[in-house]
C-alpha cells in the first residue's frame, strides 16, 4: 500500500519546509512503514494563514452544501472501509476487529454531522418587556485547531473535523506522531470529495509543544479541540488563556466498573470483557478499576480468567487475533511496569503478565487482591489488564468509584433499577448500564472533573464550534 506522508496545506500535499521526516513504525514487528514530513514553524504558520484566508468563504457556504460534502466523504469511507482499517492497523497495531469497528464508527461522524449542518438552531422571540424582538444567531467560531491522539486515529479525527466543517469553521488537524497516516487518508478523502482549498489543513509539528503553542497564539485561531492526557490538556489550557481561545477537551479517564450483587453474570462478563479489552484496553473509556461485590468475586474472576485465556494476541492484520499490539514498545513497557508495581504492592497475578520482545505486545492480564488507592488504581492503565477490587457495601463502592480526579466514564452491572440508581450517583460524564460500550455519534461524549470540557457528538458537538450573536430589533 502507498501512504500519503506529507503535510497538507492550502489544498496541496507538500514536504516540510525543513526537509526533515520522522519514522512511522508498525508496532506488530517494529518495522518502519514510511517516513512522514515534519512541519516547521513556517509550515504551521502557513496552515494558519490558509485556514484564515478560507474562513470567510467557507462560513458563507450554504449549510446544505457543507453537509453534502460530509455525506460524500462518508460514502467514500464506506466504500473503502477495508483500506481505511488496514492503515489503522499498520500504524496503530490494534486488532483487525477493532480497526474495522473504528473505521465504521469514524465514518458515522461524517454522516451524522452532514445532517446536523442544516439544523443549526437559532431563536426569534419577543422580549418580556415587549419593547424589542430578540434574535439569537449562531455563527462559526472561526479557525479551529484540532489535536488528536494515537489510540483512535480515525474516530478522533472525524469526531472533530465533521462538526467543525458542518459549523462552517476551517481547520488545522494535528494528529499524533505515532499515527499520522490515518489522518492523512481522511484529509485526502475530504480533498477528493471537493472540500475547498484551505478549509482542511494537516501539520505534524516538530517540536510539537512549542509549535502548537505558537499556532494557538495566532489571533486567527479561535478554537482548540483536543483529545489526550489531562497533563497535556492543562498545558494547552494555559496556552489558550493567553489569547482567550475557546477550548474543548476530552482528557484522561480512570473508569470504574461496578458489579453489583444482583448482576446477571453472563451479561456482566460479556460487557466487562468489551469494556476492558476493546482496543486492547488503550481507550480513555476502558474499564480501569473493576469493583466486584464479595459475593460474586470468585465467580467473576473464574469466568473472566477463562475468557481472557481464550483471547489470541498477535498482529492485527491476522484476522484471527482478538488483541493486537500496543502502539509502541514504550507503551508496552509502561503497562508492564504498572503490573509489576501492582504485584510488588501485594496483588496476585492470576493470568498473563508477560510482554513480547518481537513487537509491542502485552499479554491479556488479570490481577486480584488489588486494593483501592493502590498504584494501579490511580493511573490510567491503557493496556489489556483487568485489576479486580472486592467490596462489601454499595455506598462504599460508590465512594471508591468517585475517589479520583477523573470523571469520563463508568460502568455498572446489576439489576436494572439498582444499577441506574448507582449510575446517577457516579461522578462521570457517561455511564453504561449492563453494557460494555456507550459511544455513538448521536450521543454527547465527554467527562466531568479533570476528564474534560465540553461535549463531542450529538447536537452538542456542533455547538462547540459556533458562537451566539444576539441582535435586538425594535418591536
- C-alpha 46/C-alpha 152 separation (Å) is 27
Torsion of CA 454, 457, 459, 460, to 10 degrees: 0
Asked if 183 and 210 touch (Cβ cutoff 8 Å), the reply is: no
Angle at 11 between CA 146 and CA 106, to 5 degrees: 45
List active site positions: 250, 284
Asked if 146 and 161 touch (Cβ cutoff 8 Å), the reply is: yes
Kindly list the strands in the beta sheet with 365-368, ordered across the sheet, starting from the edge strand earlier in the chain. Answer: 348-351, 365-368, 385-391, 287-293, 255-259, 409-413, 430-433
Q: Provide the terminal-to-terminal Cα distance of the chain, rounded to the nearest Å.
A: 64
Residue with cell 498545558: 235
Residue 244, sorted as left (phi over 0), alpha (psi -120 to 50) or beta, turns out to be left
Bond preceding residue 79 cis, omega within 30 of 0: no
CA 306 remoteness from chain centre? 30
E strand or H helix that includes residue 288: strand 287-293
Amino acid at each position: 500500500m502507498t501512504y500519503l506522508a506529507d503535510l497538507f496545506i492550502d489544498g496541496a500535499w507538500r514536504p516540510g519546509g525543513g526537509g526533515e521526516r520522522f519514522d512511522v513504525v508498525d508496532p506488530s514487528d517494529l518495522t518502519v512503514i514510511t517516513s512522514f514530513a515534519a512541519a516547521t514553524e513556517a509550515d504551521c504558520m502557513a496552515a494558519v494563514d490558509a485556514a484564515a484566508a478560507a474562513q470567510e468563504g467557507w462560513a458563507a457556504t450554504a449549510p446544505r452544501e457543507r453537509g453534502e460534502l460530509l455525506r460524500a466523504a462518508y460514502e467514500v469511507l464506506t466504500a473503502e472501509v477495508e483500506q481505511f482499517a488496514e492503515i489503522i492497523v499498520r500504524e496503530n497495531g490494534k486488532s483487525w476487529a477493532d480497526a474495522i469497528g473504528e473505521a465504521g464508527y469514524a465514518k458515522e461522524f461524517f454522516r451524522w454531522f452532514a445532517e446536523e449542518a442544516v439544523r443549526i438552531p437559532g431563536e426569534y422571540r419577543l422580549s418580556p418587556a415587549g419593547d424589542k424582538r430578540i434574535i439569537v444567531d449562531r455563527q462559526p467560531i472561526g479557525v479551529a485547531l484540532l489535536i488528536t491522539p494515537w489510540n483512535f486515529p480515525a474516530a478522533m479525527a472525524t469526531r472533530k473535523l465533521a462538526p467543525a466543517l458542518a459549523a462552517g469553521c476551517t481547520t488545522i488537524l494535528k494528529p499524533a506522531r505515532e499515527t499520522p497516516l490515518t489522518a492523512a487518508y481522511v484529509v485526502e478523502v475530504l480533498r477528493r470529495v471537493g472540500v475547498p482549498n484551505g478549509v482542511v489543513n494537516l501539520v505534524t509539528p516538530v517540536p510539537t509543544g512549542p509549535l502548537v503553542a505558537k499556532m494557538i497564539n495566532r489571533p486567527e485561531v479561535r478554537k482548540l479541540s483536543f483529545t489526550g492526557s489531562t497533563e497535556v490538556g492543562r498545558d494547552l489550557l494555559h496556552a489558550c488563556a493567553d489569547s482567550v481561545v475557546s477550548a474543548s477537551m476530552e482528557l484522561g479517564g480512570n473508569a470504574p466498573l461496578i458489579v453489583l450483587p444482583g448482576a446477571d453474570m453472563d451479561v456482566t462478563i460479556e460487557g466487562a470483557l468489551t469494556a476492558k479489552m476493546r482496543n486492547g484496553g488503550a481507550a480513555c473509556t476502558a474499564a480501569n478499576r473493576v469493583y466486584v461485590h464479595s459475593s460474586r468475586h470468585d465467580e467473576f474472576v473464574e469466568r473472566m480468567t477463562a475468557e481472557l485465556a481464550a483471547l489470541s494476541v498477535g498482529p492485527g492484520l491476522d484476522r484471527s487475533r482478538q488483541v493486537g499490539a500496543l502502539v509502541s514498545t514504550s507503551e508496552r513497557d509502561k503497562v508492564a511496569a504498572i503490573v509489576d508495581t501492582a504485584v510488588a504492592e501485594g496483588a496476585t497475578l492470576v493470568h498473563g503478565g508477560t510482554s513480547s520482545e518481537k513487537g509491542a505486545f502485552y499479554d491479556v492480564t488479570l490481577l486480584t487482591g488489588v486494593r483501592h488507592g493502590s498504584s494501579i488504581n490511580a493511573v490510567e492503565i491503557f493496556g489489556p489488564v483487568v485489576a479486580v477490587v472486592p467490596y462489601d457495601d454499595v455506598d462504599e463502592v460508590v465512594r471508591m468509584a468517585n475517589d479520583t480526579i477523573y470523571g469520563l466514564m463508568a460502568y455498572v452491572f446489576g439489576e436494572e433499577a439498582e444499577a441506574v440508581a448507582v449510575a446517577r450517583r457516579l461522578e462521570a460524564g457517561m455511564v453504561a448500564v449492563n453494557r460494555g460500550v456507550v459511544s455513538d455519534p448521536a450521543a454527547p461524549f465527554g467527562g466531568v472533573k479533570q476528564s474534560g470540557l465540553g461535549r463531542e457528538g450529538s447536537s452538542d458537538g456542533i455547538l462547540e464550534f459556533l458562537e451566539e450573536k444576539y441582535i435586538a430589533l425594535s418591536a
